[in-house]
Amino acid sequence: MHLPVLLKESIDGLQIKKGGIYVDCTTNRGGHSIEIAKAVGEKGTLICIDLDNEALVEAREKLEKIKNKPEIHFFHSNFRHLASILENLKIENVDGVLADLGLSSEELDESGRGFSFRFDEPLKMTFDASEREDQTTAYEIINNWSEDTIADILYGFADETYSHRIAHRIIERRKEKPIATTHELVDIIASAVPAMYRHRKTHFATKTFQALRMAVNDEIGSINDLIDALPKVLNLNGRACIITFHSTEDRIVKQGLRAKSETLKMINKKAIVPGEEELKENPRSRSAQLRIVEKIC
């Protein structure tokens, strides 16, 4: 089960007003949305967005059971379309936006879409569970994209030291037959990196898998589009809380928010991280970082 990360800190960070309008950009199964819905009350509005429709359906079931719930709208969409989603609803501005980036524990462990190197699954890695033909998949990148592009993805999105060696080995292996599953990819990575890299505490495939997932879902492009939309969609004194899970993601968020410092003020100098109790209860929260901004003009 996915445990919501930095729940109290992000709900406090949003400074939720009864009757306000809030957006959960990454609803998943509703971990944060439920608390927002309770805090905003029946006169408020909650907009729930996620690319994973299966998760969104479960969130809807849970949210519908809340007593005195706000008006809730669900959008199976990318949060990069936030401005047009609001336009659709004829909402000009909102009081708060939450984005808890990355993927949930269920997506990682149970989706069957190849997010984890621990399970042998088809190489998809799409957040969107629908089998749309126009979706880029990890299979397509691994089997069709050029060696240089694959190396750039591995280095650019995850600082993979052995990006060139891994990319080269992928190209060699796919000449024999298409690379179809996560474990085939893990074997290729194992054969490309030095022995000492295979015996570190962090699994040697971690960075390759993170980078591919980011490329498949254009995660950086989506985050940048969301940050670009914030000054326009937030009300004055409205807040945005963004939770990241690795250094590349946090760097993009920090730089993106800093670039908007004329309109968006950082509430905390340093990112907020989970306390000891949360780390004990939910070890997966260990790399989470929360950044909060407020619209000041």
Ligand X SMILES: C[S@@+](CC[C@H](N)C(=O)[O-])C[C@H]1O[C@@H](n2cnc3c(N)ncnc32)[C@H](O)[C@@H]1O
111 interacts with ligand X by CB under 6 A: no
How far apart, in Å, do the first and last CA atoms of the chain sit? 40
Nearest residue to ligand X, using CB? 31
Strand runs (DSSP E) across the chain, as ranges?
Answer: 21-24, 45-50, 71-76, 94-100, 234-244, 264-266, 289-295
- Where on the phi/psi map is residue 222: left (φ > 0), alpha (ψ -120 to 50), or beta? alpha
127 interacts with ligand X by CB under 6 A: yes
Question: Which of 79, 117, 157, 209 forms a contact with ligand X (CB under 6 A)?
Answer: 79
Question: Read out DSSP for 192-237?
Answer: HS-HHHHTSSS-TTHHHHHHHHHHHTTHHHHHHHHHHHHHHHEEEE
Question: Which of 52, 160, 249, 250 forms a contact with ligand X (CB under 6 A)?
Answer: 52
The stretch among 49-57, 147-155, 175-183, 192-200 that binds ligand X (CB under 6 A) is 49-57
The stretch among 99-107, 132-140, 159-167, 249-257 that binds ligand X (CB under 6 A) is 99-107
Identify which of residues 72 and 193 has a Cβ nearer to ligand X in the complex.
Answer: 72
| Residues in CB range of 260: below 8 A, 6 or more apart | 227, 230, 231, 293
Identify which of residues 127 and 139 has a Cβ nearer to ligand X in the complex.
Answer: 127
Strand runs (DSSP E) across 43-160, as ranges?
Answer: 45-50, 71-76, 94-100
Asked if residue 289 lies in contact with residue 102, where contact means CB atoms within 8 angstroms, the answer is: no
Question: Which of 9, 35, 100, 278 forms a contact with ligand X (CB under 6 A)?
Answer: 100
Site for ligand X, residues 12 to 31, rule: CB under 6 A: 26, 28-31
Give the Cα separation of 183 and 118 in Å (integer).
Answer: 8
51 interacts with ligand X by CB under 6 A: yes
Identify which of residues 82 and 153 has a Cβ nearer to ligand X in the complex.
Answer: 82
Give the Cα separation of 262 and 25 in Å (integer).
Answer: 23
Q: What are 36's two structure tokens? A: 């927002």
The stretch among 43-51, 62-70, 137-145, 230-238 that binds ligand X (CB under 6 A) is 43-51
Asked if residue 293 lies in contact with residue 238, where contact means CB atoms within 8 angstroms, the answer is: no
The stretch among 36-44, 75-83, 117-125, 156-164 that binds ligand X (CB under 6 A) is 75-83
Give the Cα separation of 149 and 141 in Å (integer).
Answer: 9
Min CB(26)–ligand X separation in Å: 3
104 interacts with ligand X by CB under 6 A: yes
96 interacts with ligand X by CB under 6 A: no
Question: Which of 103, 215, 233, 292 forms a contact with ligand X (CB under 6 A)?
Answer: 103
Question: Read out DSSP for 11-44?
Answer: HHHHTPPTT-EEEETT-TTSHHHHHHHHHH-TTS
Site for ligand X, residues 246 to 285, rule: CB under 6 A: none
Site for ligand X, residues 179 to 238, rule: CB under 6 A: 217, 222
Identify which of residues 78 and 208 has a Cβ nearer to ligand X in the complex.
Answer: 78
10 interacts with ligand X by CB under 6 A: no
126 interacts with ligand X by CB under 6 A: no
* Residues engaged in binding ligand X (CB under 6 A): 2, 4, 26, 28-32, 49-52, 55, 78-80, 100, 102-104, 127, 217, 222
